């Protein structure tokens, strides 16, 4: 714990949805929901206008549509969000060398390490400058919490939402926490919260009053001791600078369970190609190939194979996941597939083709518990927060046997960037029955842009690149 509020927590406001509103003038001030649009999709982010209808992150998309039928429903554009996130993280890096990103839109900053704050007044000034710089650079708003610990700084940023700043003076932590729900503490999720409720503890002051021994008896030594300290307002976790990525992965959730083994194998190979593309883009290679399969009954199997050296070769990764798939029972159907590479390095092994041919055996299962879809809520060391959303795409086609032939109709997902040879840059409002509707507008437009409808295979219409929000 610090004597001055020099730990800053930044949380961008409704980040994905706000970025879409900034990029699309016709959506400003209107409810916007970003997430997987298939029947099994979940909400990644809802704008504040959509939240008034009860829509929130991790909600099934079908439920969101019932609550807010007139909202704009868009697929995520992760490359676009990353580009904005990089601008924000650069601004944080100007404040301090100690920046700990939690996701694309959230981070802790140690202001003391950057020499920009040594007390409440200087910390507040740094926080206000940051908010102003983010707005000027990206056109978006963020909320800032300042405190003497990470836990309290995060609570402060929640209280500051939207577009505000809250500073909590060190020494007032117990008074602040006492009447709050136990769920406000890091590591207390629904299951732990219910366990504590059955024991008669619903507020943080209840935990403090129960004593350390009782919490250890209920929750075990590590969790009980940690929770007791946090209930007293103690949190001495340091801000840890950004670490290198530990893994690269992609996954897809299917609208209809896949049963055909040939189709499943084709999808796994396609995911392997995408994963290697992302691996190479990050400048890494990896030794451990991971296959994730979520079955019809929501059971999730993870299988891995470790190579003798790191690779970024798509052929090697395809062969490895193919071997892993052979060991998985897909009877009953598959609803999600994922491919990942871990054990990252910044070099590759020359003889990995020979290695693949040697058939390095699959490793044991890494687990069979339920994994997280895009937009799920995670409980981590930083407290309950939105997990970084995986770069996934909903598969819109219906399941069929493998080896299908013939032309595939282009699919235009709502929210995607497009460019027309005559009308210029725009975005997809919707598609169906062989037609696609596009609104042509740019972030700097003062008014909503015009709408045009085309055949889905119009040769003048092609995928586009996101336009910058500012400048």
Q: Which residues participate in catalysis according to the annotation?
A: 106
d(C-alpha 290, C-alpha 268), whole Å: 11
Say how many residues make up the chain.
Answer: 471
Token representation of residue 310: 């790191």
Q: If we measure between CA atoms, which residue out of 153, 144, 145 comes closest to residue 173?
A: 153
Angle at 105 between CA 75 and CA 160, to 5 degrees: 115
Spatial separation of the C-alpha atoms in residues 263 and 246, rounded to whole Å: 30
Instruction: Report which DSSP code applies to 276.
Output: H
- Displacement of CA 165 from its chain's centroid (Å): 24
Angle, helices 190-198 vs 212-219, to 10°: value is 120
Q: Is the dihedral of CA 75, 76, 77, 79 positive or negative?
A: negative
Structure tokens at 327: 């060991």
Distance CA 73, CA 43 (A): 9
Which residues is 301 bridged to in the sheet? 293
| CA atoms of 311 and 313, how far apart (whole Å) | 6
| Intra-chain end-to-end CA distance of the chain, in Å | 41
State which H helix or E strand residue 111 sits in. helix 111-114
């Amino acid at each position: 714990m610090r004597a001055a509020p020099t730990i800053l927590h930044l949380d961008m406001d409704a980040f994905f949805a706000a970025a879409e509103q900034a990029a699309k003038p016709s959506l400003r001030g209107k409810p916007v929901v970003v997430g997987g649009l298939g029947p099994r999709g979940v909400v990644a982010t809802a704008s504040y206008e959509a939240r008034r209808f009860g829509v929130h992150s991790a909600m099934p998309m079908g439920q969101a549509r019932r609550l807010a039928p007139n909202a704009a429903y868009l697929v995520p554009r992760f490359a676009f969000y990353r580009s904005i996130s990089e601008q924000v993280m650069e601004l944080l890096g100007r404040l301090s060398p100690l920046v700990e990103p939690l996701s694309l839109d959230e981070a802790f900053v140690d202001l003391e390490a950057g020499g920009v704050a040594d007390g409440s007044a200087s910390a507040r000034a740094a926080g206000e400058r940051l908010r102003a710089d983010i707005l000027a650079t990206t056109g978006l708003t963020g909320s800032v919490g300042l405190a003497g610990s990470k836990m309290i700084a995060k609570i402060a940023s929640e209280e500051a939402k939207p577009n505000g700043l809250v500073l909590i003076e060190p020494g007032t932590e117990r008074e602040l926490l006492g009447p709050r729900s136990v769920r406000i503490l890091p590591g207390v999720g629904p299951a732990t919260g219910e366990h504590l409720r059955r024991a008669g503890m619903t507020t943080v002051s209840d935990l403090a009053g129960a004593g350390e021994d009782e919490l250890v008896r209920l929750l075990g030594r590590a969790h009980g001791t940690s929770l007791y300290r946090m209930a007293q307002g103690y949190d001495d976790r340091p801000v840890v600078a950004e670490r290198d990525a530990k893994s690269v992965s992609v996954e897809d959730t299917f609208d209809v369970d896949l049963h055909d083994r040939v189709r499943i194998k084709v999808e796994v190979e396609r995911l392997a190609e995408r994963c290697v593309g992302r691996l190479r883009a990050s400048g890494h290679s990896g030794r451990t190939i991971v296959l994730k399969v979520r079955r019809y009954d929501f059971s999730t199997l993870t299988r891995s194979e470790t190579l003798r050296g790191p690779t970024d070769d798509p052929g090697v990764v395809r062969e490895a996941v193919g071997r892993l798939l052979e060991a998985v029972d897909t009877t009953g159907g598959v609803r999600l597939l994922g491919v990942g590479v871990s054990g990252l390095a910044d070099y590759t092994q020359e003889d990995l083709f020979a290695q693949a041919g040697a058939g390095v055996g699959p490793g044991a299962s890494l687990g069979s518990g339920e994994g997280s879809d895009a937009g799920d809520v995670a409980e981590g060391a930083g407290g309950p927060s939105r997990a970084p959303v995986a770069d996934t795409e909903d598969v819109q086609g219906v399941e069929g046997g493998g080896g299908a032939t013939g032309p595939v109709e282009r699919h235009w997902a709502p929210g995607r960037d497009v460019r027309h040879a005559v009308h210029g840059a725009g975005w997809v409002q919707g598609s169906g029955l062989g037609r696609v509707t596009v609104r042509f507008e740019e972030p700097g437009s003062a008014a909503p842009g015009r709408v045009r409808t085309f055949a889905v295979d119009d040769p003048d219409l092609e995928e586009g690149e996101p336009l910058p929000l500012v400048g």
